[in-house]
Amino acid sequence: MSKKTKEESELQGITNLIVDATIGVTNLVEAMHKQVVQPSFLPSTTIQKLITSIASITYKNIRWSSLFIGSGISKILKKLTPAIGEIKDSYKKEVIISILNGVIGDYLEEKENPLKITMQFRYQSKAIAIDRKSIKAAYPNINGKILLMVHGSCMNDLQWMRKDHNHGKILAAELNKTPIYLNYNSGLHISSNGQKLNDSLEELIKHWPVPIEELTIIAHSMGGLVTRSALYYGEQNKKDWTNYLKKVVFLGTPHHGSYIERTGSYLDLILESIPYTKPFARLGKIRSAGVTDLRYGNLIDEDWKNNDRFEIKKDQRQHIELPKQIAFYNIAAITGKESAPLSIQALGDTLVGLKSALGQHKNPGRNLHFKKENIWICYDSNHLDLLSTSRILDRLKVWLV
């Protein structure tokens, strides 16, 4: 049997996703049907039971049909390959796949779906194998000053380019650094990505073809949490790469979580409390492990293991301090002006609240204690503007020179 092409594998992944989605929606509709025909708070009748039994047979047939169709589609993948060949390496395709991974990446990983993103280092949209020869081939003018760019949730390495602006590209050129971009499945637990990044950085340092002078990391949004997680595991395991890390810059990182995810949790609670809408609470549970980790900013396995990640609980994270031997810098964004009411400023960049982005917590024991001179607030900017605002680039130059 011939080996599947990348296009065939990705199409198979989409097929599997559609089949699983069809079955999932069928289950949802069936549950809703039972709630309407036979509400849990009313006495059951013979007629109601009969209707429900007949409906169950119908829904079961839909599920089996979906599985049968899904298993047969693989036979025509080769015929469909030319139709999708034109979008083989398109930016749009990369964006769609990264969003899918952000929303259901843990599911894709569990099902071994070809659409899952495997963590890798990239440069100019191409993956770099971690060996001396490949690294040297990727960088003709390589040096020992590594600049690692770590993207946020539902994004990929290509999206550091926004509005024809790329912080990493500009900083590398002007400050004589070698840029490298991380691409990862943001739907996995942050601690899972943290451990993978820890191992990957150790391999990168080990195989870098010239003597290393320093490692600098710029991380956007969730990428900052993944970086902190990797650093935690790196120090726990006494990895060499942590000795080269000199500076880390966080851009809109939800150090203490995102109020958006916490609001989503409350939606689950409301839906589950009403008999007619309870089945729809399943929709709220589509959120990946990576997304639910953003509720409070989980960093390590112990923050989520043995817990129902959809159950509403208080913040139970272990507090992980920032290592003192590394210089940490922090940029938060606010959509309003500096003169805006405090209530507007508190909302931050529309996704991450100001205090969370600044590492501040109502419990002083959880504060991250960034140095005052290492904090900067960018007004009139949203979460994505952090990637393309020239004022931020100017600030980065001052800190990283």
User: Which of the pair, 168 or 351, is modelled with greater confidence?
Assistant: 168
**Among the listed ranges 43-52, 224-233, 363-372, which one has the minimum average pLDDT value?**
43-52
Higher pLDDT among residues 97 and 30, named by residue: 97
Residue 114 pLDDT class (50, 70, 90 cuts) = confident
Task: Write down the pLDDT at residue 3.
Answer: 52
Q: How far is CA 133 from CA 148, 174, 176, 208, 308, in A?
A: 19, 26, 21, 9, 45
pLDDT of 316: 86
| pLDDT higher than 60, residue 243 | yes
In the numeric block, the tokens 């739907």 are attached to: 187
Strand partners, 333: 378
Phi, psi of 167 (to 5 degrees): -50, -45
For residue 276, the model assigns a pLDDT of 53
Who wins on pLDDT, 172 or 25?
Answer: 172
pLDDT at 75: 46
Which one of 273-277, 298-302, 336-340, 343-347 scores highest in mean pLDDT?
298-302
pTM: 0.80
Alpha helical stretches, state H, 38-163: 46-73, 77-84, 91-110, 132-138
3-class secondary structure, 76: helix
- Between 274 and 348, name the one with better pLDDT: 348
Stretch among 147-151, 239-243, 287-291, 393-397 having the lowest mean pLDDT: 287-291
pLDDT 10s digits, 182-208: 999 999 999 999 999 999 999 999 999
Residue 116: its pLDDT value, please?
87
Distance CA 73, CA 76 (A): 6
pLDDT digits 0-9 by tens, 336-380: 888 877 777 878 888 899 999 999 999 999 999 999 999 999 999
Distance, CA of 103 to chain centre: 8
pLDDT, greater one: 51 or 240:
240
- In this prediction, residue 20 carries a pLDDT of 52
Asked if 353 contacts 258 with a C-beta cutoff of 8 angstroms, the reply is yes
Distance CA 98, CA 105 (A): 9
List alpha helices for 139-238, DSSP H: 167-175, 190-207, 222-236
The residue whose two tokens read 């990348």 is 6
Q: Which residue has the higher pLDDT, 42 or 284?
A: 284
Mean pLDDT of the chain: 81
Contacts of 244 (CB under 8 A, 6+ apart): 146, 205, 212, 213, 214, 215
For 315-336, the pLDDT digits (tens) are 889 999 999 999 999 999 999 8
- What whole-number percentage of the chain has pLDDT above 90? 54
Q: What is the pLDDT of residue 278?
A: 62
Q: Which two tokens stand for residue 316?
A: 């139970």
Q: Supply φ then ψ for residue 328, to 5 degrees.
A: -110, 135
Query: What is the reported pLDDT for 37?
Result: 46
Reported as a single tens digit per residue, the pLDDT across 117-157 is: 999 999 999 999 999 999 999 999 999 999 999 999 989 99
The SS3 of residue 135 is helix
- The reported pLDDT for the residue numbered 374 is 97
pLDDT of 343 reads: 76
pLDDT at res. 303: 92
